[in-house]
Structure 1
Amino acid sequence: MENTPKNIRLVLAVLAVAVGLFMVAVAPFIIQTSLERVISALLVVSAEKPAYASGILLFSYAFPLYRGLIFIGGIALLLLAKSIADGREWAFAPALLASAFPSAGGMFMFMPYVSFVDGFPLPLVVSFVGLAFFWSLILLRKVDKWLKWGQFLALTFSGMLTTHAFIVGTGNLRTLLTRPDKPLYDGLGWWVLAWSQPIQWICVILLFVAIYLLASRKIWGWRLALLSVVSLVAIDVPMQIIRLVIAHSTSWDYSYGLPVIIGLLFVLLFPRFKQALTEESA
């Protein structure tokens, strides 16, 4: 950050304050409004399709969870603004992680919103505001091009995978909560859902940690990102096959993340990017 021109650092600091205030004072109301609309729609849908009733419970916890992360992230950005303006290198990683919460969280909340609610998807506002700062912080810094674009790709793909994994894990749990033979698991189709669900959410946590460590150029960031992406491949590919062939599902949910997985694997394993991402700064 110290090599970045002072005027650029000032712009980033102002953005940190603006986005931080949005995350603290505006996003919570957008999220609550979105939650109310999703739950209201699910009450109607679940009256005809009881399998969707579990979504009411899950979203009632998932939306507030992300709201809490976004709120704390906003406080962090407000506290980090001066250090960003001063060019403190250590401020880059926590600021990036803080802005990853609305970016990923807003996109997660977008999916049930567009599935059940008509009109403009409010959670996109939260996501785009977070992404505006997330990408600005990466792209406006004056650093080596391999580092800049390696971080842009690796961190963006990691954030996208947190969203996909959280959506899939939540979908797994929603389906499991309404399975016909509960509390038993009637066949391989249900077994694999129970295997997949915790793996998806664990990978979300690992990827958020990886975002922070990759931004810090720590080797463990690279390792955790690789561990997460390989774990997701190892569970998503067989899950997709089993769900289609054995469980006779028509859903392709597990394959939607494959382009992002391939992209992240490429960035992590391409030698020039790997060197840039893992050369720990002093």
Structure 2
Amino acid sequence: MRKALIWSTLALLSVVFIYPFVWLLSASFKPRGEVFDHRLIPETFTFENYLKVWQEAPMGLWMLNTAYVTVLAAVAVTVTSAMVAWGFAYFRFPGRNLLFGVVLATMMLPGAVTMIPTYLIWNSLGMVGTLTPLWAQNLFGSAFYIFLLRQFFLGLPREPFEAARVDGANNWTIFSRIALPLCRPAIVVTWLFEFQAAWTDLMRPLIYLRDSSTFTVPRGLKALLDAYGFGGEWHWEIVMTASVITTVPMIILFFLGQRHFVKGIATTGGKG
């Protein structure tokens, strides 16, 4: 009875979480007048929306821009956060805990506090209107990812690192050839988290992008939402179809990285 209750609860929660996407997928195959009829199986099944969305909007260009920004943002924040986390976990120096506390304290700063100063910096560099501000900020790491990776590094034994140092390995060799391979699950988790965050980010594209040729997918969806609203009537079938096209890559990515994702979350240590 206990197992049946657990499985029933899990099945119910799965339905709750999956239903919105199933509804979205169903709506993308419906004509305009049937989008909100709440039927999961369309009464009138059509592929016209998937053809029309590519004609009405440069989805290919938007997805290319999004992929460019997302990959660079994920790689940049993963590498820099890992380097900082390794420094806090491996090296012993005065004020280490205090400095690490300062890094964690930055997570308490709301994004709205730094939004205007950050914009002014990029504007003075002449980067407003380009894709650079959307990913280059990640070159300075992230406090959350630094914490996550540091906890993982603390769970590694120091003996392999000391043995490598005796053999003549320098700090960079120890970090890149021993530490990083050992914490691959945590690296994958960090990369996936940031990939999802950059792929779905709307705020920064709204602030920095002006030309539709530089739009990312979320910014493009906002443009579609604005463009197809006239006279109180909305072409929701186009918006739904574009949403499906942009959601599917993330689902595929998480399925491919699921094993590393679960392992990284489960094995991230709690050492301090």
TM-score, length-scaled by structure 2: 0.36
Structure whose CA Rg is larger? 2
Q: TM-score, normalised by structure 1?
A: 0.35
The structure showing larger relative contact order (alpha-carbon pairs under 8 Å, at least 6 residues apart) is: 2
